[in-house]
Structure 1
Amino acid sequence: MKTTILFSLTLLFLSVTTVFSQTARIKGVVLDESFQPVENVSVSFEDKGATTDNSGFYSFVVPANKKITIVFSHITLKPVTLKVELKNNEDYEYNFVMKSNESQLGEVVVTAGNRKTVEGIITLEPAVIRKIPGANAGVENILKTLPGIVSNNDLSTQYGVRGGNYDENLVYVNEIEVYRPFLIRSGQQEGLSFTNTDMVQSVDFSAGGFQSKYGDRMSSVLDITYRIPRKFGAVMEASLLGGSLTVDAVSKNNKWTTITGVRYRDNSLFVNSQETETNFRPTFSDVQSYVTFTPNKRWQWSFLGNISQNKYNYQPLSRQTNFGTIDEPIALQVFYQGQEKDSYTTYFGALKSTFDVSDTFTLKFISSLYHTVEQEYFDIFAAYFLGEIDTNIGSETFGDVTFNRGIGTQLNHARNDLDALIFNAEVKGFHKFDEATLEWGTKFTREDIRDRLVEWEVIESLGYNINPENIIPVNDQPYNPYTGPLVPFQNIRATNFTTIDRLSGFVQWSKKSLWGSHEIWYNAGVRMHHWQISGQEIESNSGTVFSPRAQFAVKPNWDKDMVFRFATGLYHQPPFYRELRDFNGEVQSNVKAQQSFHFVVGNDYSFKMWDRPFKLISEAYYKDLTNVNTYTLDNVRIRYKATNDATAFAYGLDLRLNGEFVPGTESWFSFGYLRTEENQNNRGFIARPTDQRLKFGILFQDYVPNIPSLKLYLNLIYNTGLPGGAPSYADVYDYQQRLRNYARADVGFSYVLTENNHLRPEGHWLKKFQDVALGFEIFNLFNNQNAITNTWVRDVESKNQYGIPNYMTTRVFNIKLNARL
């Protein structure tokens, strides 16, 4: 490859000694009045110049800290003149439309780093999101390569951030909060992320220390904006994992626009690569539409709608897992009967209106309705055998089980139903002053949840029933006769009709100014959240919290382009329904809001290597948590204790170097260190379920020098093992072992058929497409055995208990076709 990963890592360490010139870069895409890319546009400044390629893209290095004039000219279109002054190492994007009857003059003066840099927000490019391979490709797949992100589940879109769990992350699409189903317990049941990547315009992510305008969660914010189309277009993808079709449409007067996407997903390719042989019939599908209406330049209406249906039919047949040591290899053989039938149907609709009262005052009205109907039904009987493996290489039975040392059975049953309706109504205001902004908002939410849980588990070993550990007298058969009651090992039965009313609001002030010759930016605000819990046979309860937050950033007047940031604040998480439900499925209305105090210090260092832009981003953080609602984590199912009986902390360091290691592409290398522990009832600090100590991630793009149409995309993650794999019934203080380290590499190859479209004659069939690519993907390239949990098997005779790892997907191959009109 043109630039190897090893070479790039070497240059990373050498970059600190490189001397950089006082230059900046301007880049962008030139379109015509039909919003088509314009090729061969001349971009010139004094005696320097560049030309746009067949996609209308240009890139041009200019002097920094100097006001210059750049001229864009074309043989058939009117020229465009741009006056610009950029800071040292600034990377500025200027996209525009060249007209046939009107010359244009613009002026841009870039001073401090952009708003997202000083706020500590990571911006992800939609083009990168669409190209990078992964078992669940999309926004969440890219997030998992970032430092501080905890995830070791191949088939899940869920993630934890800096010690938090999956429920502690805010997700917005067009400023509208979105939700995920409640009952999902396994990553392979999730199917599709809410976000349709083909509809995305921008993706912003904050891993902590975020502003008051964002809602009440303790860990992170994912803020996604869908694009508004400018012309008719379509995007299609088909692969062995499913397919999608997204269509853009615009009315003749340009006042109405719509994007509609249809997606289908089938995870059979991954599930059939796992140890358990199954009959697996999943169908994951959704339809999503984003409609805008702009009656005039001051007012815009938009509607976002989504219908999603996930049906998960699972019939396990058999499984064999080999574990143990070289000297004493052991195998678990399981033979199944029964099946699981789950269904998750969600309906989501949101209406948003944006009104520019004046040039300095904007009002927004947002309302949304989310409805989910979910059922989780299964009856699965498992007969298991613990056996010794023949290790004699010359034996005819080498690798087979030759002696069974333990026999048992297990029966799992569930009839769980949930119906939830969530309504939101919100008003937000934005005021702009000379160098400052004022933002405020108020929001009402009603959550109406109807939930029935009926699930139990019966376990026996060598014919003896195994009771829960808290049953007296203790069942220690066959050594002593047992005269106590025979009860299920686990038995949960609950019916909850719960209503939660919430009223929240925020106000914040942001200002940019000078501190001597240095540029500074600061933000201060406060949030309020009041909630009221009521329901049938539930004691009414309420609570109110206030969350002050602040950010400060400074860009010194140095030759080196650096921005320093500090953020702090109080972050509350008023309990959502799942956090109110204890291990027995009963709602505890007196659960308090969890509280986290954030301290974040960061630095962005922008520089150039090989005359291309790079940035080194570093952040150190500390979180002090009180009123902690402890939980257990099994795959992606979270079960809360609902007692607020713990304190906790999290601290760590995140580093990421990103830039154009290969010209015209973005890649990055990330490293994270995290430590998070909790103290339950003053029993001492132990690791939390998300205590992932070390994290390495690589996202890399390249192409073959002699075949530039052949692209390479690499997604590599290495995480040290998480605490876990303990039985759900166990005392976590007795089980502090960790799962094995997680390592996964996904690689994709894409041959772009439209790469040389400008050389093809008019009328060629590929001229109709902006992009056509044929791809080949290898998931889990090195075939690592990654474990998500442990299955615990008891042997009554030997009094031993074995934790057998549940391995994730093995190496899988996929082919796909992408086309864009």
Structure 2
Amino acid sequence: MRINYSNLCVLPLLLLVFSALDLSAKNSALISGIVVNETNDQPVELAIIRVAGTNVFAESDMEGEFELQVPANVDVNLVVTRLGYHTLEQNIGTLEPGEQRGMNIYIVPTDSDLEVIVRSGRIEEVTMVREQAEKLRFIPSVSGNFESLLSGIALGTYGGTGGELSSQYNVRGGNYDENLVYVNDFEIYRPQLISSSQQEGLSFPNIHLIRDVSFSSGGFQPRYGDKMSSVLDIRYRVPSEFKMGVEASLLGGGIHAEGSGFMGDHGQNRLRYLAGFRYKTTRYLLGTLDVTGEYAPDFYDFQAFLTWDFNPELQLGVIGNYNRSIYSFIPEERSTASGLIDFALQLSSVFEGSQEDDFENYMGGVSLTWLPERVENPLYLKLLASGFQSDENESTDILGFYRLAQIETDIGSEDLGEEIAILGTGTQHTYKRNFLTLRVLNLQHKGGIEFNKLGEESGDRSHFLEWGLGYKREFFDDWINEWERLDSAGYSLPYDGETTNLFEVLKSTNSQYSKRMEGFLQNTYTLYKPGRREWQFAGGLRFNYWDLNRELILSPRFSASLRPLDWDTDMSFRLSTGLYAQPPFYRELRRPDGSLNMDLKAQRSFHIVGGMTWDFGQKTGNRRKYRLITELYYKSLWNLVSYELDNVKISYSGENDARGYVMGLDARLNGEFVPGAESWINLSILRARERLDDVTHLRRELGEPEAKEVKDVPRPSDQLVNVSVFFQDYLPNNENFKMHLNLELGTGLPFGLRGNNRVYRNTYRFSPYHRVDIGFSYLLWDESRRKTNPNSLFRHTRRVWASLEVFNLMQVQNEASKTWIKTIFQTQYAIPNYLTSRRINLRVQVDI
């Protein structure tokens, strides 16, 4: 926010009009000018311009103009407020008696005109981290999905075993299903049958349409839904003029457009639109995997968001999305070596068959927002209706002939790298014919009203009361038929000497329809004492009822924050706590045998989160150079539905059979380590533990003959340390040439023996994940060069960037999962399935 002084807005002297007030005028001065929207330079009406600590205020008219009489010979602080805009505080110094000063006041909208969430406080929402999407567009990303960037911008967030190919993420010891995602208040759903990161296509959020994101890693407010880990709240841009962008790379490309225009006889009806099409293919990356063959992945996404202003108080919003992921694969052969310097294994395989997967998703939504123009007790009411459908098809029939051997590792041996012992040979036949249709209909009403008491001796006070009520109808119809046959040395496993047995079998047919009711009520109270402190308290209650298991859930939540204003340091403190529940969805209901547990209850958790934000360093405008955010947290978990994790596939037990806890520390430091280039460092330390009901967990220490009982075991998402670094720099004499480095480092996630992971649960660890991606970008063209180079090839564009990206710069072999080889003697060997190796990508971005 900024205030620019000028003489252009000084109004004519009004001495004749105010002659009756001559005595008071000798002790006062006059401020006049225009309140302007900083994002589009349009005047803002109904803004309140107030002298802090007094009841003296003025209101801007339809042209944004105002006049305010202020005391002379005293230091004057102005506070400018308007529903839907960030509050502006500015010291204008001392004015002489009778002085008239003109100024333009620029304020920044919190959200688009009527697409607005009313906020009562000046402190950033205590549980959220906010980022502008423009900062993220140059981060090197293999998946191309926005969620893959969250480990850098959000607290306690890290990628799962799917690695760089996946957009799935874990937050503070939870799994991917425990995360909420909203786009412009619409809840976003995703496919359910995806089992490997290679199948994942384009996620819903389109980074080229995003204005800003807010993320909470826990302790979030009642107005957000019923999940146990996190909330990702995305706001799309509010276009004010026509713009267009095109992107192309070796991994795909896309095009997006936006615009705005007034329509109707009086020009009061305004249409805004955002639209984007994306295409992605990963065949170039998948060519670096150990399994060679013909990869043919094709991923498409189209989405649009439109708003229509019927009048200044009423707005219609429409959102639509079509997404399709096609993954085709014909494997040929595989050769993978793993082990230590004294014992190494090599798995060699040849394959027959193919895999054909198709995931098709549709989403549409309509919103109607009413924001009446009223100075006292500002109010907003919003209605939302949305629908989601997913048609998913997995088709796999692959026969693999494998040979597992021990290889020579003695450097002095003539047979170095050669096979010295055959540990097993056989066949592995994997068959899948899985179909799922999922539909969700969501109806919701939400609203808010604000009550202000300004200029009181004790400070400015406000209550912001919010409420919401929602209804959901869910339907799924699945037909699952998958099995796996293992043959070792001519014998089918498990071997009983008489029959041919399948190693794993899952066959089921389910069709289920259910209804949910949910709602919330919360109040945010803010107390602001100019020059001293600012308090904010938010508390409320959320409820959820599901007719399938007839369970009513009540979730009280509370948060508090404090920002001292009389300290030399710019710091704020926050505390949040509450009960959180996660009612079952499709995957949690399904037992390993395919049957549904209709009595499955919601998973429950209790959060307590304490945090601090410290802005320090040189101040530019209203912002410090650096920001440090730290949070300590503890989560108690019960009624858990235990699960196994294989690549990105989450297989639930279908029972409330576990308890656990998570505790940890998160820290984030961001700022301009190089002037004009934002960078950040994220550090997360956590401990996530669980205990299965009626199970005595054991652990065998290395060198100990007997196993020992342990009170808890690692959860599948237990990652002790995770570090994420994004650093930007540019050439000292040429800021158009930039470097973007992205580093991910994390300790290994736990896993256990396949088919026997209960007593000795999650006793092993994957290798630590570490990866460096680097990009180099050069600004080929900027519209400021049109005068000096009017005949340029790019003269009709605003900017043109060219980038060279190197993925997995250090060529590290990170693990996605394990292939289990079982011999006839029941010995199991875990062979790693590695993620992608080094690749170079070329990317061009054109802004029109």
TM-score interval for Structure 1 and Structure 2 normalised by the shorter chain: 0.7 to 0.9
Partners of 1:667 and 1:768 in 2: CA distance: 32
Counterpart for residue 748 of structure 1: 775
1:661-700 matches, cutoff 5 A = 661-682=673-694, 683=696, 684-700=711-727
Partners of 2:775 and 2:519 in 1: CA distance: 45
Amino acid at match of 1:677: R
Partners of 1:26 and 1:201 in 2: CA distance: 20
| SS class of match (1:487) | coil
The verdict on how the C-alpha distance between 1:297 and 1:610 changes in structure 2, with shifts beyond 3 A counting, is closer
1:445-524 matches, cutoff 5 A = 445-467=472-494, 475=495, 482-483=496-497, 485-514=499-528, 517-524=532-539
Structure 1: which 4+ aligned runs deviate by more than 6 Å? 78-87, 107-110, 392-397
Q: Does 1:410 align with 2:452?
A: no
Q: CA deviation at 1:429?
A: 0.9
Q: CA deviation at 1:735?
A: 4.3
Q: CA deviation at 1:527?
A: 0.3
Match of 2:808 among 767, 780, 802: 780
Q: CA deviation at 1:330?
A: 1.7
Match of 1:442 among 431, 456, 469: 469
1:351-390 matches, cutoff 5 A = 351-359=366-374, 360-390=378-408
Q: Does 1:546 align with 2:574?
A: no
Assess if the C-alpha contact under 8 Å between 2:120 and 2:463 holds in 1.
no
| SS class of match (2:555) | strand
The verdict on how the C-alpha distance between 1:379 and 1:138 changes in structure 2, with shifts beyond 3 A counting, is closer
What is the CA deviation profile of residues 639-675 of structure 1, one whole-angstrom value per residue up to 9, with x for unaligned ones?
1111111111000000111111111121111111010
Assess if the C-alpha contact under 8 Å between 1:769 and 1:820 holds in 2.
yes
Comparing 634-643 with 545-554, greater Cα deviation is found at: 634-643
Amino acid at match of 2:105: G
| SS class of match (2:136) | helix
The verdict on how the C-alpha distance between 1:143 and 1:642 changes in structure 2, with shifts beyond 3 A counting, is same
Match of 2:213 among 190, 194, 203: 203
The verdict on how the C-alpha distance between 1:93 and 1:506 changes in structure 2, with shifts beyond 3 A counting, is closer
Assess if the C-alpha contact under 8 Å between 1:191 and 1:267 holds in 2.
no
Give the number of the structure whose alpha-carbon radius of gyration is greater.
2
Give ranges in structure 2 of 5+ residues lacking alignment: 5-39, 42-50, 54-63, 69-75, 81-85, 89-101, 110-118, 264-268, 453-461, 697-710
Partners of 1:346 and 1:395 in 2: CA distance: 56
Assess if the C-alpha contact under 8 Å between 2:331 and 2:354 holds in 1.
yes
Assess if the C-alpha contact under 8 Å between 1:659 and 1:668 holds in 2.
yes
Counterpart for residue 287 of structure 2: 272
Counterpart for residue 283 of structure 1: 298
1:592-631 matches, cutoff 5 A = 592-609=601-618, 613-631=625-643
Amino acid at match of 2:640: V
Partners of 1:355 and 1:446 in 2: CA distance: 26
Counterpart for residue 594 of structure 2: 585
Q: Does 1:333 align with 2:351?
A: no
Assess if the C-alpha contact under 8 Å between 1:709 and 1:755 holds in 2.
no
Partners of 1:706 and 1:429 in 2: CA distance: 52
Assess if the C-alpha contact under 8 Å between 1:443 and 1:503 holds in 2.
yes
What is the CA deviation profile of residues 211-256 of structure 1, one whole-angstrom value per residue up to 9, with x for unaligned ones?
0000000100000011121111111000000010001133353611
| SS class of match (1:751) | strand
Counterpart for residue 470 of structure 1: none
Q: Does 1:555 align with 2:576?
A: no
Amino acid at match of 1:786: N
Comparing 609-618 with 577-586, greater Cα deviation is found at: 609-618
Partners of 1:588 and 1:126 in 2: CA distance: 41
Assess if the C-alpha contact under 8 Å between 1:529 and 1:546 holds in 2.
yes
Assess if the C-alpha contact under 8 Å between 1:599 and 1:622 holds in 2.
yes
Amino acid at match of 1:405: L
Amino acid at match of 1:321: T
Q: Does 1:239 align with 2:249?
A: yes
Partners of 1:405 and 1:363 in 2: CA distance: 68
Assess if the C-alpha contact under 8 Å between 2:394 and 2:434 holds in 1.
yes
The verdict on how the C-alpha distance between 1:675 and 1:26 changes in structure 2, with shifts beyond 3 A counting, is farther
Match of 2:150 among 143, 146, 151: 143
Partners of 2:514 and 2:105 in 1: CA distance: 52
Amino acid at match of 1:794: K
The verdict on how the C-alpha distance between 1:337 and 1:730 changes in structure 2, with shifts beyond 3 A counting, is farther
Match of 1:716 among 736, 739, 743: 743
Partners of 1:115 and 1:157 in 2: CA distance: 33
Q: Name the TM-score, length of structure 1 as normaliser.
A: 0.83
| SS class of match (2:174) | coil
Q: CA deviation at 1:394?
A: 8.4
Match of 1:706 among 727, 733, 747: 733
Assess if the C-alpha contact under 8 Å between 1:772 and 1:817 holds in 2.
yes
Q: Does 1:421 align with 2:431?
A: no
| SS class of match (2:633) | strand
Q: Does 1:157 align with 2:167?
A: yes
Q: CA deviation at 1:328?
A: 2.5
| SS class of match (1:757) | helix
Assess if the C-alpha contact under 8 Å between 2:148 and 2:169 holds in 1.
no
Partners of 1:725 and 1:804 in 2: CA distance: 13
What is the CA deviation profile of residues 34-56 of structure 1, one whole-angstrom value per residue up to 9, with x for unaligned ones?
xxxxxxxxxxxxxxxxxxxxx99
Partners of 2:809 and 2:224 in 1: CA distance: 38
1:124-143 matches, cutoff 5 A = 124-143=131-150
Assess if the C-alpha contact under 8 Å between 2:148 and 2:159 holds in 1.
no
Partners of 1:756 and 1:427 in 2: CA distance: 44
Counterpart for residue 35 of structure 1: none
Q: CA deviation at 1:327?
A: 2.2
Q: Does 1:527 align with 2:542?
A: yes
Counterpart for residue 96 of structure 2: none
Amino acid at match of 2:520: F
Assess if the C-alpha contact under 8 Å between 1:118 and 1:563 holds in 2.
no
Q: Does 1:168 align with 2:178?
A: yes
Partners of 1:127 and 1:358 in 2: CA distance: 32
How many pairs does the alignment contain?
A: 721
| SS class of match (1:781) | coil
Identity rate, percent = 37
Counterpart for residue 307 of structure 2: 292
Amino acid at match of 1:523: A
| SS class of match (2:502) | coil
Q: Name the TM-score, length of structure 2 as normaliser.
A: 0.81
Partners of 1:79 and 1:675 in 2: CA distance: 57
The verdict on how the C-alpha distance between 1:106 and 1:610 changes in structure 2, with shifts beyond 3 A counting, is closer
Amino acid at match of 1:699: F
Partners of 1:719 and 1:520 in 2: CA distance: 37
Give ranges in structure 1 of 5+ residues lacking alignment: 1-24, 29-54, 57-64, 68-77, 95-102, 468-474, 476-481, 534-540
Q: CA deviation at 1:395?
A: 8.1
Counterpart for residue 6 of structure 1: none
1:11-410 matches, cutoff 5 A = 105-106=104-105, 115=122, 117-145=124-152, 146-152=154-160, 153-253=163-263, 255-359=270-374, 360-391=378-409, 399-401=417-419, 403-410=421-428
| SS class of match (1:652) | strand
Partners of 1:374 and 1:631 in 2: CA distance: 22
Counterpart for residue 459 of structure 2: none
Assess if the C-alpha contact under 8 Å between 2:716 and 2:762 holds in 1.
no
What is the CA deviation profile of residues 169-195 of structure 1, one whole-angstrom value per residue up to 9, with x for unaligned ones?
000000000100011111111110111
